[in-house]
């Protein structure tokens, strides 16, 4: 087995480590003028893959066979919450996940739609009373 594949994977992982540090998970605190500190919290997803092979050389005098391969990786940072620090107390404000399906989107819209319908009916009732 060639020494190239482990080197490629190590280099890929090293580059990912450079991109993702603790500040990617727990972000830099932001302090407002009124003394509230907001700290972003994220989820990190990492994927790494690689592969390769030594090929038989057509040159019989060659000591080492040629190598072909590749490695790659990816990082996904997803915000999940904010920590809000005020007057010595801490609150967690979660960030809801976006709707995945049309049915989920409809369910999310129902409360807002009901509020709008109720406001419309109330405004019509007030007009009739005048």
pLDDT tens, position by position, 92-116: 999 887 767 888 778 778 888 888 8
**Which pLDDT score is estimated for 22?**
65
Answer for the pair 69, 53: CB distance below 8 angstroms, yes or no: yes
Q: How far is residue 60 from each of residues 23, 55, 56, measured CA to CA in Å?
A: 53, 13, 9
Taking the alpha carbons of 45, 69, 2, 12 in that order, is the dihedral positive or negative? negative
Give the model's pLDDT for residue 3.
63
Q: Which residues pair with 68 in a beta bridge?
A: 53
Supply 57's token pair: 């050389």
Dist. CA 63–CA 19, nearest whole Å: 38
Q: Name the 3-class secondary structure at 25.
A: helix
Rank 49-58, 65-74, 81-90 by mean pLDDT and report only the highest. Answer: 81-90
Residue 98 DSSP class: P
Predicted confidence at residue 36, as pLDDT, reads 92
Residue 66: pLDDT band with limits 50, 70, 90: confident
Residue predicted with more confidence, 35 or 74: 35
Residue 78 has pLDDT above 80, yes or no: yes
pLDDT at 92: 92
Percent of the chain with pLDDT over 90: 17
**Mean pLDDT computed over 72-99:** 86
pTM greater than 0.75: no
Q: How confident is the model at residue 91 (pLDDT cuts 50, 70, 90)?
A: very high
């Amino acid at each position: 087995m060639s020494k190239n594949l482990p080197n490629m994977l190590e280099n890929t992982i090293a580059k990912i480590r450079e991109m993702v540090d603790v500040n990617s998970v727990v972000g830099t605190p932001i302090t407002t003028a009124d003394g509230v500190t907001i700290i972003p919290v994220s989820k990190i997803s990492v994927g790494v893959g690689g592969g390769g092979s030594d090929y038989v050389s057509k040159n019989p005098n060659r000591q080492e066979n040629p190598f072909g391969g590749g490695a790659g990786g990816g990082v996904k940072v997803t915000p999940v919450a904010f920590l809000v620090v005020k007057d010595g107390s801490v609150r967690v404000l979660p960030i809801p996940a976006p709707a995945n399906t049309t049915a989920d989107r409809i369910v999310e819209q129902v409360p807002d739609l009901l509020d709008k319908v109720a406001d419309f009916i109330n405004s019509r009732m007030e007009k009739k009373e005048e």
